[in-house]
Amino acid sequence: MNLLKLQILVLIEKYKKVTDVANELHIKQPTVTFHMKSLEEELGVTLYQIRSGRVWLSEAGKALYPYAQKMTTLYSEAERTLELFKRTGASVLRVGAEDVYSAVLMKGLRDLGTENPELQLEVRFAPEKELITWFEEGSLDAVISERSSADKAGGRFEELFQDELVIICSRQHKWAGEERLSEEEIQQEKLVGYDASSYLTQAALNWAGKRKLSMQIGTVVSSFAAALQAVRLGIGAAFATRTASEGLEELDKEIAVFPVPGTLLERSFTIGLLHHGGEPSAEYIRELSNRLKAKV
Higher pLDDT, 111 or 246: 111
- The residue among 70, 87, 104 that closes a domain is 87
Model confidence pLDDT, tens digit, residues 121-134: 999 999 999 999 99
- The residue among 87, 107, 133 that closes a domain is 87
Same domain? 264 vs 282: no
- Look up the CATH number of the domain holding residue 15: 1.10.10.10
Q: Residue 29: is its pLDDT beyond 90?
A: yes
Q: Residue 82: is its pLDDT beyond 70?
A: no
pLDDT band with cut points at 50, 70 and 90 for residue 41? very high
Same domain? 129 vs 97: yes
Same domain? 166 vs 265: yes
- Look up the CATH number of the domain holding residue 256: 3.40.190.10
Confidence (pLDDT) at 253: 73
Same domain? 142 vs 169: no
Phi–psi pair at 212, nearest 5 degrees: 55, 50
Same domain? 171 vs 211: yes
Same domain? 175 vs 213: yes
SS (H, E, C) the chain: CCHHHHHHHHHHHHHCCHHHHHHHHCCCHHHHHHHHHHHHHHHCCCCEEEECCEEEECHHHHHHHHHHHHHHHHHHHHHHHHHHHHHHCCEEEEEEECHHHHHHHHHHHHHHHHHCCCEEEEEEECCHHHHHHHHHHCCCCEEEEEHHHHHHHCCEEEEEEEEEEEEEEECCCCCCCCCCCCHHHHHHCEEEEECCCCHHHHHHHHHHHHHCCCCEEEEEECCHHHHHHHHHCCCCCEEEEHHHHCCHHHHCCCEEEEECCCCHHHHEEEEEEEECCCCCCHHHHHHHHHHHHHHC
Same domain? 279 vs 258: no
Q: How far apart are the first and last CA of the chain?
A: 57
pTM (2 decimals)?
0.66
- The residue among 36, 62, 87 that closes a domain is 87
Model confidence pLDDT, tens digit, residues 130-189: 999 999 888 899 999 999 888 888 789 999 999 999 999 999 999 988 889 999 999 999
Confidence (pLDDT) at 250: 59
Q: Residue 256: is its pLDDT beyond 80?
A: yes
Same domain? 224 vs 145: no
Same domain? 179 vs 263: yes
Domain of 239, in residue numbers: 162-269
The C-alpha atoms of residue 73 and residue 174 are separated, in whole angstroms, by 63
Q: What is the mean pLDDT of residues 35-41?
A: 95
Q: Residue 84: is its pLDDT beyond 60?
A: no
How many Cβ atoms from other residues are within 10 Å of residue 143's Cβ?
28
In one-letter notation, the amino acid at residue 22 is A
Same domain? 187 vs 264: yes
Structural domain total, the chain: 3
Phi–psi pair at 145, nearest 5 degrees: -145, 160
Same domain? 181 vs 256: yes
Same domain? 7 vs 102: no
